[in-house]
Each structure stands twice: as C-alpha cells, then as structure tokens.
Homo-oligomer: A and B are copies of this chain.
Amino acid sequence: MKKQITELTGVKEIARRANVSIATVDRVLHNRKGVSEQTKEKISKIIEELNYKPNLLAQRLASRKTLRIATLIPESSNETSFWEAPLQGIEQADAEIKQLGIIVDKYFYDQNLIDSFVDQTRIILESKPDGILLAPSFIEESVVFTEKCRELKIPYVLIDSDLPNQGSLSYIGPNLYHSGYLGAHLVSYLTGPEDKTLIVNISREIDNHHHLLKKEEGFRAYFKDHHKPDNIIKIDIRETDLKSIEHQLSKVFEENNDIKVVFVTNSRVSTVAHFIESLGKDLILIGYDFLKENIGYMDKGVIDFLVCQKPKQQAYRGLMSLYQHLAFSSPVEKIYFMPIDILTKENSSFYRN
C-alpha cells in the first residue's frame, strides 16, 4: 500500500492536473521535443499557476551526470603568494560542491611564462569541461582561449581581471580604476599641499601591466577631479627582485626628499616596506592585498593602509556561480565588483580575504 503524502506541488501534481504523465511534464519543463503544442501549453499554464519550483535536491540526485569544472589561475610563486588566496577559495568551493556531483579540475600556469598559459588552455579544452574559471593574466592569449570556449559553448567566469566584451558568463573582481581612486582619497586625508606622493609600479612587462595602469589612472583622476595639486612622482620598476627594487627606490629618494606618501600599485608593497623601514623615515605607505608579508609590515607600522579585494572570495564566488549556472541554470550577475576594502593595523586581524 502506498501512502501518498504528496505535496500539492511537484511534477506529479502537475501531471495529475494536466491529465498527462509525469514524463510529459518533464519534457515541457526541459523543453525537449515530443510534446504537442496543445498539451505543452496546458502544462505550461499549470506550471505557471502552481508557481512550480523544482526540488533541487531531487533534481541533482536523479541527474546522473557529474559536472566537471576546470579552473586556471597562476601558481603562487616565491615572488608573490597572492594566488594562494584564490586557490583557497577554489578549494573551499570544491569541498562544498563535490558531494553534489561536481568535479573541479585545477590547472595552473606560470605568470612569467606565456607558453605555460597556452599549454594549459590546450589541455583544458581537450578535457572538454562543462565550465571554466579563469584568471586571464595574458590578455591576447586569453581572448583566443575564450573565443574557443564560446565556439564550444563552454561557459566561463573571469576573476581578478576582466576581458571586456568577451561574452563571459560573469566577471568577478575588482574595479581597478576605483580602487586607485580610493587610494588617492586616502592620500588626500594624509597630505598637506607641500607633500609629494610617489607612485610605485613593480611589474615585469610580461605581467598584466594594465592592471597597474588602471589603478594609476584612477589615482591621478582623483586629484584632477578635486582640483588638488598632484605632487606626484612615479616610478616603474621592471625587475621584480628585491635588489633591483631597492636600488631604484634609493635613487628616487635621493633625488626627492620631500616625499610624504608612497603608493604601491600592487601586492609587492612588502618589498618597498622593507626598503622604507631601512630608510628610517616616517612615511605613509599604501599598497595592495592581504598577504602575510604585507600584514607583517602593517603590524610593525611600516605599511599604513592596504587596499584589498577578497581574492579568496572572488574564486569561491566564481566557482559557485558556475556551479549554480550549470546545475540549476540559475541566473548569474554579469559583473560582480568586489568591495574595495581598506585594511589598517587595527582591522586586519578580522579581515576575511
């Protein structure tokens, strides 16, 4: 004897009301073919009326297919540990959805080797994943890659930096311009009219240099917009080893002794901190990203502010929205700008990266 505790909703109920079998209901739900226009309409109407929402549990359970998502981000090098955070985000998301029939394949490339990026994209495409999470450091190569994805109808989500007009499912990351703008806003509180500000870009040409340029652009725009004198000096350092950096910095400081604020446009601020500490001057130092090294210098009082954009969350969110999209075809925000967080010595210990 079957006890029917059946809800008043669900495919069964729809089928009952429409006087058809659940299979037919299923067909219109997934608009597969094999249903006459007439019955299709009838069923659709009932679905509407009942405001039917499928039971996600049952859906995933019954659907035998396991989804595969590939992730491609830089490996964290000994030069910067920045990419540890996104990796953690990926791993957290992985842990949460693996029990739901999703497999996450992680791929990495060397930020200094374009070829490694291209290689990995090839391997990924061969594996034919259902979705891709991508940190597109190399712009041109990424464009090529994402075009192929679109051909193959593989949805992809970008994190950390955007490729405009490339039809990604979503971009999740910073608004670089505004984060620079914010940096300048902070600086404006901290400087008098005589003080000079030094902008430091540390990056090999090969990196996604535009990242830094966007920030600098925002930074300068602030002073322009507020009609403030921008006593700004700028230095581009193209060798990312400690020695070159210190060498170049000391040159700048010899030539300018009225620098009050130093604004470093990326996470390599800790090396600058190292230099400034040895300099012994009382400067204000602003940089980017919640890295152990940086926090260390902030706790010591060498770094004053860090601007940060939750890299771990970016990756986590990216994977999750990919999952939501693939598993339940739920809508995804096309652009999700991360909040621009300001870290100081006094709130960094509460920060969630």
A61, A178, A222, A350: most-surrounded residue (chain B CB, <10 A):
A350
Tell whether, in the assembled complex, residue A339 and residue B342 are in contact, meaning their CB atoms are under 8 Å apart.
no
- Some 30 contacts from A to B, beta carbons below 8 A apart, are A5-B64, A53-B99, A55-B61, A55-B99, A56-B99, A57-B58, A57-B60, A58-B61, A175-B350, A178-B350, A181-B346, A182-B344, A182-B346, A182-B347, A185-B344, A185-B345, A185-B346, A186-B344, A189-B189, A189-B190, A222-B346, A337-B350, A339-B341, A339-B347, A339-B350, A339-B351, A340-B347, A340-B350, A341-B342, A342-B347
Measured in the bound complex, the distance between the Cα atoms of B340 and A179 in whole Å is 18
Tell me which residues across on chain B come within 8 A of A56, comparing CB atoms: 99-100
Tell me which residues across on chain B come within 8 A of A53, comparing CB atoms: 99
Chain copies in the assembled complex: 2
Measured in the bound complex, the distance between the Cα atoms of B188 and A338 in whole Å is 28
Does residue A352 face the partner (Cβ distance < 8 Å to B)?
yes
Measured in the bound complex, the distance between the Cα atoms of B342 and A56 in whole Å is 38
Interface residues on A, range: 35 or more
- Interface 0/1 of A214-240, CB less than 8 Å to B: 000000001000000000000000000
Minimum C-beta distance from A197 to chain B (A)? 15
Which residues, 314 to 353 on A, are CB-close (under 8 Å) to B? Answer: 337-342, 344-347, 350-352
Minimum C-beta distance from A79 to chain B (A)? 28
Partner of A344, one of B5, B55, B342: B342
Tell me which residues across on chain B come within 8 A of A337, comparing CB atoms: 350
Minimum C-beta distance from A29 to chain B (A)? 15
